[in-house]
């Protein structure tokens, strides 16, 4: 092979090698985005000769840490979309440990809440209406009046609970009247006088008969 042909072959080989190296260098694609729902990671065309590594942190807590090969794509959802969140993603490519080529990179940020949480309104239920129960009016029937001369009379349970004829003794209080005339003994004295006169007459008569 002439010197001229060797120079052409070497030049072509060098150009081909440069193209291959350039393709490898530009093959790593990484995209990290975040919104109020979560963090989306999309890594493609990484060199999988050795493992690459990724760490995802949300609100100071590591939610994922592991190795990946040629690609890694997933979305890490926030636990609550209605509050703000801080996040970070660390990508470590084995063929770019210092990050000079841009294969290894750090991402971080803060996202605001999607919207205000919907307000839950508890419906107010009126208590059931209770119809008051109205009792019918009570009619009082007067009992018939029963006296001793009626058939309904029961001497054992009515009145003074005494059956048969009873004699009632009425005590009349004795009142002493003031003395205003003859003594209460005048009738006695008068009667005694008449008796004495009668006896005297009888004695006189008998005495007169004896003398004759």
- In this predicted structure, what is the pLDDT of residue 54? 96
| Per-residue b or e along 55-89, where b marks 16 or more CB atoms closer than 10 Å to that residue's CB | ebbbeeeebeeeebeeebeeebebeebeeebebbb
- In this predicted structure, what is the pLDDT of residue 199? 79
Burial class (CB in 10 A: 0-12, 13-18, 19+), 156: exposed
Instruction: Kindly state whether residue 91 falls inside one of the protein's structural domains.
Output: yes
SS3 call for 29:
strand
- In this predicted structure, what is the pLDDT of residue 118? 56
Instruction: Kindly state whether residue 175 falls inside one of the protein's structural domains.
Output: no
Instruction: Kindly state whether residue 28 falls inside one of the protein's structural domains.
Output: yes
Q: Domain residues for 73?
A: 17-111
Tens digit of pLDDT per residue, the chain (212 long)? 444 443 333 333 333 333 333 334 446 898 999 999 999 999 999 999 999 999 999 999 999 999 999 999 999 999 998 999 999 999 999 999 999 999 999 999 999 998 765 566 666 777 777 777 777 787 776 666 777 777 777 777 777 767 766 655 556 565 555 555 555 555 655 667 777 777 777 776 666 655 55
β pairing state of 85-92 and 61-68: unpaired
Tokens of 90: 């660390």
- In this predicted structure, what is the pLDDT of residue 137? 80
Instruction: Kindly state whether residue 53 falls inside one of the protein's structural domains.
Output: yes
84: domain CATH number is: 2.60.40.3080
Instruction: Kindly state whether residue 205 falls inside one of the protein's structural domains.
Output: no
Q: How far apart are CA 120 and CA 118, in angstroms?
A: 6
The domain tally of the chain equals: 1
Whether the CB-CB separation of 68 and 46 falls below 8 Å is answered with yes
Instruction: Kindly state whether residue 83 falls inside one of the protein's structural domains.
Output: yes
Instruction: Kindly state whether residue 204 falls inside one of the protein's structural domains.
Output: no
Sheet arrangement for strand 85-92: 61-68, 52-58, 85-92, 105-111
- In this predicted structure, what is the pLDDT of residue 14? 37
Instruction: Kindly state whether residue 7 falls inside one of the protein's structural domains.
Output: no
């Amino acid at each position: 092979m002439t010197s001229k042909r060797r120079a052409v072959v070497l030049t072509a080989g060098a150009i081909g090698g440069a193209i291959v190296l350039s393709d490898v260098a530009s093959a790593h694609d990484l995209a990290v985005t975040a919104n109020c729902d979560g963090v989306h990671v999309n890594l493609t065309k990484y060199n999988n000769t050795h493992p690459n590594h990724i760490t995802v942190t949300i609100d100071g807590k590591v939610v994922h840490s592991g190795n990946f090969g040629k690609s890694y794509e997933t979305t890490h959802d926030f636990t609550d979309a209605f509050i703000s969140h801080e996040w970070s993603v660390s990508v470590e490519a084995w063929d770019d440990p210092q990050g000079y080529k841009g294969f290894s990179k750090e991402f971080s940020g803060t996202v605001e809440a999607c919207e205000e949480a919907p307000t839950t309104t508890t419906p107010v239920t009126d208590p059931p209406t209770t119809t008051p129960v109205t009792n019918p009016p009570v009619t009082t029937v007067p009992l018939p009046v029963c006296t001793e001369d009626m058939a309904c009379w029961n001497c054992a349970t009515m009145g003074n609970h005494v059956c048969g004829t009873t004699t009632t003794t009425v005590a009349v209080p004795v009142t002493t009247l003031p003395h205003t005339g003859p003594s209460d003994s005048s009738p006695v004295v008068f009667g005694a006088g008449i008796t004495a006169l009668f006896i005297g007459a009888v004695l006189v008569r008998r005495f007169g008969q004896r003398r004759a």
